Amino acid sequence: CLPLIIQMPIFIAFYQSLLHFNFIIVEHAKFLWIPNIGSRDPYFILAVLAALTTYIQQRVTMVDTKDPT
């Protein structure tokens, strides 16, 4: 639960910043390396990053069933 508490403010901040930002032309809106935020990530970095952080979070929070405590 702790990793989620750390991640949620970052996700909320990204969402709020994109939600309230007034783009002049939506097709020319950029975000980091993505040339158009209306299209998919051309390098799939966000998808890989999401998968990697999900895997790491799962490994960190995994409970050992053989532990007697």
Picking from 1-5, 23-27, 41-45, 46-50, which range would have the lowest pLDDT averaged per residue? Answer: 23-27
Alpha helices in the chain (DSSP H): 2-19, 45-61
Which whole number is the average pLDDT over 30-46? 75
In a domain? residue 26: yes
In a domain? residue 13: yes
Which whole number is the average pLDDT over 35-57? 83
Domain of residue 54: give its range.
2-61
In a domain? residue 66: no
pLDDT class of 2 with cuts at 50, 70, 90: confident
In a domain? residue 48: yes
Count of domains in the chain?
1
What separation, in Å, do the N-terminal and C-terminal C-alpha atoms of the chain show? 20
In a domain? residue 69: no
| pTM reported for the whole predicted model | 0.47
pLDDT value at residue 28: 67
